[in-house]
Structure 1
């Protein structure tokens, strides 16, 4: 047994890796580092986060186990003896049915990704087989196992000891042939807050995702977290939030804002870390005081009110994750109640509104925001914070309102611009950033070009001029 150097080789099955382990021999026996995270990751092994160590003792040569594909990753090795290992790709995809086999002793380990069937046959008596897994076993997860009969003719595994002479469990003898195997599906994307403006737009941008509204997952309910089998997902998009800016300044609203936007997001961050999920957190321009702009991704938060403070706290928790995207946006317009719909409704009824003219920003249309989020995931952009709004010059709320009136065929002068201090005089209102413009350099550098805000506004209204008015009437009903 030689003391080979650490090394990793790719096999014909994507993600199935063979690891060479140095074994140090002397007169007392031998020693090896079976799992050394830092060294192995530096060589290219995924940082898969093992949580459980299992050991199988096999009394006889010819003991055969598998083929089992499990909904987690495994790192398998031999402590004593030798085995013949067999792996078959049982994942949904072009390599379904691909086979790889090799002998393993203490000097070799194999990384088995989720969905690849794993089996072995002992070549010596009293063989000890060890494996690390990155999920705790539970009965619900076992429902996702995919099994293959070890004697399947199409896989044609060349077992050194014929299966008729081998030791198998009764269960393994009756697993299905490859033609009857239902492939393991990839982990899915889970979208929380599916009933909001962004959540509705994400249904189009991420059609393969699973969507949960508040009735199916209430972020503020600690018990809700235990109802989700998190290992079934690769990514969580948190589009849920407490967004009542003025309500957050009240005693009850303050508690709700912090519970949903900070405490619950911190809990979601813990879940993401535990299950190695990508977490996408939707943030807001309200994390800044708006004293100047445009605001960059690296600018420290400086929120004025409770809503912005609670969102900034949630963002800080998410930023501790290695795999995260904080998507910061502003002035969202989508399917549901929003400023543009309100202005269109007023224009349709020939009502002249008074609108703030000294708060500046850019509109963010939910469809474009959802497209940007999908782009970050599909392009595997570097993790971190991205500002994401529509592009174009900064505008005031009054300028947006005037443009809505123009597009609705009304006179823009029907909109009366006033300073925020005058508009909110005598009202219980939260402080708002005067400058909400977000710099878009990083999202553009990632390969996504946000459409111009006023062009998107045109499309939003002109495509169906009566849509906003009718929606507003329905909202009032």
Structure 2
């Protein structure tokens, strides 16, 4: 008998992502009614917004009809319209839970969310059972499946009806044992702009797993009209976009303006279209330059965008585009320091060469080291933090560029008094080319990120570590 009057609620299974759900069913003398899929209510209750595109029903005449075990390259919402089944699910994904098993009976008042890569099987316990499932990709003969034998001794499923007495297809009987099943790799991650300073930090943080692809500019043209077919996008889960045009002064020229808009807005829009069409998560790195720097406090994620120059305008446009995606992380950072040419290396070189630099002292912010940004991006993805915009910089006290220069001098064994602070106006007076306006305050509020469990590291301590690791006493790369 169907149990009426349940509340919509979930129960864990021990297999990551596999979640059993109780469904409210309303019945009377005429029969019963249920909302088998109600996006607003179910997403609010914790079901992934998995975007079903196809609804399938398998009708089974006899008791003991047994199907599976099939791991498919899409997510499924499995339920029963009529009848009752014994379901068995086996994790066939690469990782510590490979081979884990969960079993449960399903009737009209119970459903289960099955993530891709988890093997799905069932055995009917009543005649005329209708087994229904929503999937978030269209069936394709080219889709890559994985299979497990229903009788595998390793997982030891206790079928209510002995398999020898069940109705099973010859194809299902021929599936391999667990020892011969190749674990399914996670859905793929694509890092765009992988040869830049942040791209190199992501290589170090994410590693070289088979499911991670790093694409430099010459390996993936994100401005190409063929981008939609450039990869088998349904095999991916996440695009991390760290490609950008960052020459803020050159962006104020005619040619630079075109290049900045092409890289920071048009190319971002192309990636966003791919992400939207294939329900991918998109991670996009933003900048403090989307603000004018006029606030007398750190900028929160929800402050109105108010860019001053072309670079900031193009980054703001990119942010606006990505923010429309259902699954997105906009990671806003400032004063980025990584491998290669940067402000810290320049100051270390000047210190070692005996130069006494004039450095701007009326721009305030915090340094952001690329390894810290990469660590934060991985945290957002692995912790499944709520989608949205997050500020991600070094923590601690805000400083001026002149303060940073003095710290570099001191940390490399030189007299910090050799650094002279000057205003932005004086520093750029007499500049030969165009000068982009800079935000006077670039400090970003880190509260939202820290509430997800990310421990922000002090920027001054990171600067010390960076110099010890990367710069020798002569200001050169260590």
Residue 270 of structure 1: CA displacement? 4.4
> In the alignment, which residue of structure 2 is the partner of 1:361?
365
Verify the 8 A CA contact 2:471 2:477 in the aligned structure 1: no
Match of 2:308, SS state, is: coil
Instruction: Give the drift of 1:97.
Output: 3.1
2: distance between equivalents of 1:11 and 1:449?
A: 28
**Stretch moving more, 108-117 or 269-278:** 269-278
Q: Per-residue CA shift, 1:14-57, capped at 9, x if unaligned? A: 32314445264656x76543322234345543332212112334
Q: Secondary structure at the match of 1:132?
A: strand
Partner of 2:178: 178
Do residues 332 (structure 1) and 336 (structure 2) align?
yes
Indicate if the aligned counterparts of 1:408 and 1:461 stay in contact, CA closer than 8 A.
yes
TM-superposed CA distance for 1:69, in Å, is 1.2
Note the alpha carbon deviations across 1:170-225, whole angstroms, 9 max, x for none: 43222111222233344454433222222222233333654333233333335335
Residues 305-316 of structure 1 mapped to structure 2, 5 A cutoff: 305-316=309-320
Q: How does 1:43-82 map to 2 (within 5 A)?
A: 43-58=45-60, 62-80=64-82, 82=84
Superposition pairs for residues 43-192 of structure 1, below 5 Å?
A: 43-58=45-60, 62-80=64-82, 82-122=84-124, 127-138=129-140, 142-143=143-144, 145-159=145-159, 162-164=162-164, 166-187=166-187, 189-192=189-192
Please report the TM-score for the alignment, with normalisation by the length of structure 2.
Answer: 0.84
Consecutive unaligned residues in structure 2, runs of 5 or more: none
- Give the CA deviation at 1:462: 3.6
1:326-345, Cα deviation, whole Å (9 max, x unpaired): 22221111101212222323
Unaligned runs of 5+ in 1: 473-477
State the secondary structure of the residue aligned to 2:433.
Answer: coil
Q: CA RMSD in A?
A: 3.4
So what's the TM-score if we normalise by structure 1? 0.84
In 2, Cα distance between equivalents of 1:407 and 1:100: 57
Aligned equivalents of 1:446, 1:2: Cα separation in 2: 40
Q: Kindly tell me the number of residue pairs found equivalent between the two proteins.
A: 469
Does structure 1 residue 341 correspond to structure 2 residue 345? yes
**Is residue 227 from structure 1 mapped to residue 233 from structure 2 by the alignment?**
no
Matching residue of 2:446: 440
Distance in structure 2 (CA, Å) of the matches to 1:287 and 1:16:
40
Q: Tell me the distance in 1 between the aligned counterparts of 2:309 and 2:352.
A: 34
Partner of 1:475: none
Cα distance between partner residues in 2 of 1:100 and 1:170: 24
Relative distance call for 1:3 and 1:167 in structure 2 (3 A) is: closer
